[in-house]
Structure formats: C-alpha cells, structure tokens
Structure 1
C-alpha cells in the first residue's frame, strides 16, 4: 500500500508542477496584461483533484489518520482554482489580478500541505 500511496503522491506533485509551472510561464505576459490560462494549468489542477481524492481514500483504507479539516480547506482552494482556470481557459487575455489569484491560491495550497501538521 505504501508504494501505491507514494506513486499517487508523485502524481500529485506533478499536477502541482503543471499548474504552478503554467502560472510561472505566463508571469511576464501577466505584467503586460496578456496572460492566459494555458491548458497545462487546467490539467494540473484536475490531476491534483483526482490524485488528492485518491490519496485520501488510500490513507483511509490503510487506517492512517486523515486531517479532514486540512483536506477540506485544500479542496476548497482547489475548487476555486479549478473554477477560475476552467472558466477562463478559452479567453485570450485574463486580468492580472484574477490570474495572480490562481498563482497565489496554488502557493497557499502548497504551504498548507507542507506546514499544517
């Protein structure tokens, strides 16, 4: 079971990298007001959702404790990120504050995962 959990953790990190990497590649364009949601950002957020839900299920199946409040906060942030990236995926330009919110919420989600014990 530990190997399977570690595989899903690796996939979850790949999803985070895709979302945050897509954001970072558009930062220069964001400064010019020309940022757009790239497909990798949406796919990364969806990967995070699927693997995160799978990880919770795997931990519960392994009788490991799950901090449901922490997972609920992370899920709420991810739903907002998914909503923003899904709605704005076809637009040529996304406003800088809205695009910045996606990056900020992603980083907050990472810090919650790492720092909230």
Structure 2
C-alpha cells in the first residue's frame, strides 16, 4: 500500500508541476497583458484533484489520520483554481488579475501542503 501511496504522491507532484509550470510560462505575457490559460494548467489542476482525492482515500483506508481542515482548505483553493482555468481556457487573452490569482493560489496551495504539519 505504501508503494501505491508514493506513486500517487508522485502523480500529484506532476500535477502541481504542470499547473505551476503552465503559469510560469505565461509570466512574460502576463506583464504585457496577453497571458492565457494554457492546457497544461487545466490538466495539472485536474490531476491534482484526482490524485488528491485518491491520496485522502488511500490514507484513510490505511488507518492514518487525515487533517480534514487542511485538506478542505486545499480542496477549496483547488476548486477556485480549477474554476478560473476552466472558464478562461478558451479565451485568447485573460485578465492579468485572473492569471495572477491562479499563480498565487497555486503557490499558496503548495505552501499549505509543505508547511502545515
């Protein structure tokens, strides 16, 4: 079971990398007001959602305690990220505030995962 959990954690990290990487590729365009939500951001957010839910289920199945407040906060941030990316995915240019919000919420989600013990 530990190997499965570690594999899902690896996939979760790949999702985070896709979401954050997609945002970082748009930093130059963000400064010029021409940023857009790239497909990697949507796929990364969806990967994070699926693997995050799987991780909670696998950890609970193993009998580990899960910090539901932390997981709930991370889920809420991810739902906002996913909503913004999904709604704005087909637009040629998105507002810098929307793209910046996705980046900030992604970074916040990462810091919550790492620092909240």
User: If the length of structure 2 is used for normalisation, what is the TM-score?
Assistant: 0.99
Q: How does 1:1-117 map to 2 (within 5 A)?
A: 1-117=1-117
Cα deviation, 1:39-84, whole Å, max 9, x if unaligned, reads 0000000000000000000000000110000000000000000000
Cα deviation, 1:6-48, whole Å, max 9, x if unaligned, reads 0000000000000000000000000000000000000000000
User: If the length of structure 1 is used for normalisation, what is the TM-score?
Assistant: 0.99
Runs of at least 5 residues in structure 1 that lack an aligned partner in the other structure: none
Structure 2 residue matching 1:65: 3-state secondary structure: coil
Q: Which runs of 4+ in 1 moved over 2 A?
A: none
Runs of at least 5 residues in structure 2 that lack an aligned partner in the other structure: none
- Count of aligned pairs between the two proteins: 117
Q: Distance in 2 between matches of 1:2 and 1:81?
A: 29
